[in-house]
Structure 1
């Protein structure tokens, strides 16, 4: 099989709950409605989860306590930004620096079947066979050991993860209030979630044999205050992009990814409404909280600048956040930049009516970030 065919192989994505606590998996049945057409998908998820149970139980009881005792984690670097703002590209670039640790795609789904050798052999092989060569929503290359968002794993033991919405998309507003703003979450559960996050970071660092953790997790864009409670000296990189392009890319991404993961029906019209609402909420929360970040610990960048001159922008990021080692990482980052020159972005078409809705919804952010209507989007005139 050619290298190109390997990269574009077909695969099957499954709900991330295959590696969750069985108690949390069962909780989905009682808390959220699973639509009938997805019952078989849920049954398969349960079966894989049960097979995984002895392996993750062993790791939680025997291996995890060692990492729970680790208190000397260097303050992480958090990449913030709404989905489709360039967070994945920025994360992949920075992860070419060998000092950067990260959560892998495999760990994000099976966070407690990582250091159990037999369990890892079985489930990493299983994941490698199933994962498609490219992500359906944006053609980004996928692989079990490639960098991934940690949000998938944060709901594995404590029932708090915004990415439950991939399975239950009609609950996205509820999940935002409870799992990003932590409204209605008692302090004990909140502290367990924090402890689980720190455990995930400690295991990620061991897995990548590094000391500096680099997070890319869009839900954290609305959790700056909470992250500073955990890591007062954490450093942040916020990347932003034209809100209209973000909407179109997010709409397309959700439309193509949800069919692989969802356990609830949702219409395209509903998805569009939720994408607009989500953007407004998370950007408002970020603007309100970013002043809490200590001076010198935040750098804000434009996706457009990352596209035009990535090496210059990354050099500025290293300098402003006082991250050492750019010179030694430069060659590896440049090689990755060169490899991405053939990457093709999705094209987008928008009706005049849709454009007017987006301009009204995103007016505040567009003015604050100095954006106008992008020139590279095809605008269709509405039918009379």
Structure 2
């Protein structure tokens, strides 16, 4: 269905494939390391455009226009469709409340642009055995012909969205994209990256909780089982390594490093440092919004405690798994410590 509407885009909106995407901004991190928190602060700045979940699933300008038209009609008759969407969100995403606020109309990662080709680590939400096809974690290693096709599709997807939004700066975030950053940079050579550095061990514990949550619904026999949980651990490990090893491929002015602890303790100062590094203007309206978000964030206290033991692992096992590195991985670690 999406392919059909994307074909219509060429007929109804033929200029989209010439749309320039200038210096898109990508937030990259370990899973569960503040990327959603930072993204949802930045997305309030009107100079950015970003993907909501439904837009990443239905990436077509024609569909965007149809949804806008249906929404206007729906609002004029009391918003019955909107209430249905809210019901579906509350039903299907309720299990993530307090972990990662999600829904069709919430901003989301660009991950679902890759799901239809089954080249997305995020598929671990649906398939507990993804570590058995580990090449999905590193699609930069695909054969060149396939890789170029993925790059073209990704570029067109972003062009569609930016065209529909009126040419704003594209803002995205992804916590599992470590194995395709080369692809990102080929699609958009002038892309800007924000790297959130965090404790990988804490990220693993939290990721086990979030990414295995749907298993309790669709594959309850797999939920909290040790073997299946290796898919999530491997996803976090390869993402972590991919991000840091690719970090050195960016010009200094196109990448900025921030610490998770600093982001949490002083969001306003962190965002100001990002804008300063990229020479982005900040409107008075957004400054006020940022200040309010910062005040609210400082009063937030998580009620969740994540442990690897809940999934059959010990801390020593996780440390040993992460430390069990090849010579290439050891070289990666040296680069990581240089950045720190």
**2:75 matched to 1:129?**
no
The equivalent of 1:243 in structure 2 is 200
The equivalent of 1:83 in structure 2 is 31
Q: Residue 274 of structure 2 aligns to a residue in which SS?
A: helix
Q: Conserved in 2, the CA contact under 8 Å of 1:137 and 1:256?
A: no
The equivalent of 1:199 in structure 2 is 156
**2:20 matched to 1:60?**
no
Separation of aligned partners in 2, 1:262 and 1:298: 40
The equivalent of 1:50 in structure 2 is none
In structure 2, relative to structure 1, the CA distance for the partners of 1:124 and 1:95 (3 Å cut) is: farther
Q: Where does 1:165-314 land on structure 2 (aligned, <5 Å)?
A: 165-174=124-133, 176-178=134-136, 180-187=138-145, 189-209=146-166, 211-260=168-217, 265=222, 268-314=225-271
Separation of aligned partners in 2, 1:337 and 1:265: 39
Q: Conserved in 1, the CA contact under 8 Å of 2:140 and 2:183?
A: no
Q: Residue 292 of structure 1 aligns to a residue in which SS?
A: coil
Out of 140, 144, 150, which is 2:104 matched to? 144
Structure with the largest fraction of helix? 2
Superposed displacement of residue 92, structure 1: 0.8
TM-score normalised per structure 2: 0.78
Q: Residue 20 of structure 2 aligns to a residue in which SS?
A: coil
Q: Conserved in 1, the CA contact under 8 Å of 2:195 and 2:258?
A: yes
In structure 2, relative to structure 1, the CA distance for the partners of 1:69 and 1:215 (3 Å cut) is: same
Between stretches 92-101 and 61-70, larger displacement belongs to: 61-70
Separation of aligned partners in 2, 1:333 and 1:274: 36
The equivalent of 1:99 in structure 2 is 47
Q: Conserved in 2, the CA contact under 8 Å of 1:180 and 1:219?
A: no
Superposed displacement of residue 215, structure 1: 0.9
Superposed displacement of residue 247, structure 1: 1.2
Q: Conserved in 1, the CA contact under 8 Å of 2:204 and 2:308?
A: no
Superposed displacement of residue 119, structure 1: 8.9
In structure 2, relative to structure 1, the CA distance for the partners of 1:96 and 1:214 (3 Å cut) is: same
Size of the aligned set, in residue pairs, is 313
Separation of aligned partners in 2, 1:345 and 1:206: 41
Question: Which ranges of structure 1 fall in alignment gaps of 5 or more residues?
Answer: 1-52, 371-384
Q: Conserved in 2, the CA contact under 8 Å of 1:97 and 1:333?
A: no
Separation of aligned partners in 2, 1:279 and 1:202: 29
Separation of aligned partners in 2, 1:306 and 1:366: 25
Q: Conserved in 2, the CA contact under 8 Å of 1:105 and 1:146?
A: yes
Q: Conserved in 2, the CA contact under 8 Å of 1:91 and 1:216?
A: yes
Q: Conserved in 1, the CA contact under 8 Å of 2:19 and 2:162?
A: no
RMSD: 3.4
Q: Conserved in 1, the CA contact under 8 Å of 2:137 and 2:235?
A: no
Q: Conserved in 2, the CA contact under 8 Å of 1:134 and 1:140?
A: no
Q: Residue 199 of structure 1 aligns to a residue in which SS?
A: helix
The one-character-per-residue Cα deviations of 1:138-197 (angstroms, maximum 9, x if unpaired) are 4333343321111113233x45333333222212452x414633434451x333322222
In structure 2, relative to structure 1, the CA distance for the partners of 1:124 and 1:298 (3 Å cut) is: farther
Q: Conserved in 1, the CA contact under 8 Å of 2:59 and 2:161?
A: no
In structure 2, relative to structure 1, the CA distance for the partners of 1:63 and 1:264 (3 Å cut) is: farther
The one-character-per-residue Cα deviations of 1:9-48 (angstroms, maximum 9, x if unpaired) are xxxxxxxxxxxxxxxxxxxxxxxxxxxxxxxxxxxxxxxx
Q: Residue 129 of structure 2 aligns to a residue in which SS?
A: helix
The equivalent of 2:290 in structure 1 is 333
The equivalent of 2:77 in structure 1 is none
Superposed displacement of residue 306, structure 1: 0.7
